[in-house]
Amino acid sequence: MIATSEDNANAGKYLASDGNSYTTADTLPSGVSFLTSTSDGNGHATFDGLPLAFNDGNGNGILDWTDSNSNGIIDPGELSDGDTVQSDYWVVETKAPAGYELLKTPQKVTVNDTTSNDSTIELTVADQKSTDLPFTGGAGQVLLVTLALGSIGIGTAIIVARKKRQSKEV
């Protein structure tokens, strides 16, 4: 799943197709779904429909005329003064591939107006293999419990015998 901020990612609030963020416990409006992606056989995942924000590079908050065509429509390929059309998102792994651990933290990814048209991978994540915990239980456990109870019984019998011997000597 994908979130619009690190805080949202940590809170489990994910971006939906209507541009709003919801938790998985929320009831989504009719026709709205979370923007999700499942990685393919090569481990590639894509998110479609991500909104992008205009970032004013010179800080004046004004779209420069050179950023738009004669109809006033912004042409991202002609931005000037450090202006950009991009947004940061945080990818959250909600289900790990078999044999791998779930990512523990959201991963930041920056997308821009050319992201969908190029072959550049915006985020690379190295999945960690699952840690195999030793098997506990079974026949070995019964043997250990039997030995422990036997040791307790023998220890108790020795203490009782010593006390009886000490009481006869007095």
As a whole number of angstroms, the distance between CA 32 and CA 58 comes to 37
Cα distances (Å, whole numbers) of residue 68 to 54, 61, 73, 83: 12, 15, 5, 12
Residue 155 banded pLDDT, cuts 50, 70, 90:
very high
Indicate if 96 and 161 belong to the same structural domain.
no
Q: Which two tokens stand for residue 125?
A: 């994540």
74-93 residue pLDDT tens: 555 556 666 667 788 888 88
- Please enumerate in sequence order all residues whose Cβ is within 8 A of that of 43, keeping only pairs 6 or more positions apart, or say none: 127
Beta-ladder partners of 86: 53, 112
Residues β-bridged to residue 68 = 74
Regarding whether 138 and 99 lie in a shared domain, the answer is no
Report the number of distinct structural domains present in the chain: 2
Determine the structural domain holding residue 64 and report its residue range.
Answer: 1-130
Q: According to the model, what pLDDT value does residue 110 have?
A: 83
Whether residues 119 and 158 fall in one domain? no
Q: Percent of the chain having pLDDT more than 70?
A: 69
As a whole number of Å, the end-to-end CA separation of the chain is 80
* pLDDT tens string 43-77: 777 777 777 777 666 666 555 545 455 555 555 55
Give the C-alpha separation, 34 to 67, whole Å. 32
Query: Same domain, yes or no, for 139 and 126?
Result: no
pTM for this one? 0.58
